[in-house]
Amino acid sequence: MKNILLPTDFSANSLNAIDYAMRFFANWTCNFYILNVQKVSEYISDDLISGSKTDTIYDSIVTDNKRLIIQLVKKLSKQYKSQSYTFHGLFDYDDFVSAVDQAVKFHSIDLIIMGTNGATGAKEVIFGSNTLQIVRNIACPTITIPENYTYTNIKSTLFSTKYCEDFSFEGIKIFKEMLNMHQCELNVLEIDDDAIITSVKEDNECLRALFTEYPYTYYRLQTIPGLIAVNTATQLLKVDLHAVFIEKETFLERLMFGSDSSQLVYRTLIPLLFLHR
């Protein structure tokens, strides 16, 4: 059984990520934790005025959001009653990253799934920024879903990396479980500093050790800027899910969070699975 955390602000973007999760884990037994986080800074004076005299500020803030969580849990439970899913509603009154971190630890979360977007409305911008912070700061595998992305069956996956130091046998377990779950093909892309995609006969020992039990097609890509390279590879290979390790001081960390910090997260064309050591 998997414990999956689904943060939501009830925006279309976050609800689309929840829909993706429902379809991704079809026919598997899962606990889904629907989390909403509220901060005082997001609370406006009109809400205070409309509250009952007997209400505390906290009560006034949480009432509507708790109601929305309950409604969403009921809706999902009814919609997916044929699946082996269990839904739990969570509410926290905290900093978003801290709230997610606490939920991950307390509920033994195996995976976080949440949406990203290109920054539209104010709420969407805030939620998208939170996604970036989760990927950076929470040591839990996270799938980010591009805005308006429609789920398609996982037929082809991509794992991309640069150095053997990026690899982790423990950290990649959940990706291997996904490969087994969807019985999909695996492509491995090694990015070289020295931008052309070329198939080569010989990969390195680290990769072979990492995917001993999984047949894969190996590619090597040279001199193309990171985002262009990744999007080119995912389109040419018709990939449905892209997995990367995210670690401080690694190549992919600098690629994603350097001067163009949000480019890969916000402009990727397909769902991204961020893995941690």
Cα–Cα dist 271/28, whole Å: 20
**CA angle, residues 18, 22, 26, in degrees to nearest 5:** 165
Give the lowest-confidence range in 9-18, 160-169, 197-206, 215-224: 197-206
CATH of the domain at 232: 3.40.50.620
pLDDT tens per residue, range 57-98: 666 667 888 899 999 999 999 999 999 999 999 998 888 899
Write down the pLDDT at residue 202: 63
Residues 266 and 171 in one domain: yes
Q: Decide if pLDDT at 126 tops 70.
A: no
pLDDT tens per residue, range 239-274: 999 998 875 544 554 555 453 335 555 567 889 999
Residue 213 falls inside a structural domain? yes
Write down the pLDDT at residue 22: 98
Residues 64 and 118 in one domain: yes
Domain boundary, last residue among 110, 125, 145: 145
Residue 213: which domain range?
A: 156-275
| Coil/strand/helix, residue 73 | helix
Domain boundary, last residue among 84, 112, 145: 145
What is the arithmetic mean of pLDDT over 16-30? 96
pLDDT tens per residue, range 99-125: 999 999 999 999 999 988 644 444 444
Residues 258 and 133 in one domain: no
Backbone angles phi, psi at 271, to 5 degrees: -60, 140
Residues 180 and 269 in one domain: yes
Cα–Cα dist 87/75, whole Å: 10
Residues 203 and 254 in one domain: yes
Tokens 């050591």, located at residue: 277
The count of domains in the chain is 2
Residues 111 and 172 in one domain: no
> Highest-confidence range of 98-102, 213-217, 221-225, by mean pLDDT?
98-102
Instruction: Read off the pTM.
Output: 0.84
Cβ-based neighbour number of residue 139 at 10 Å: 12
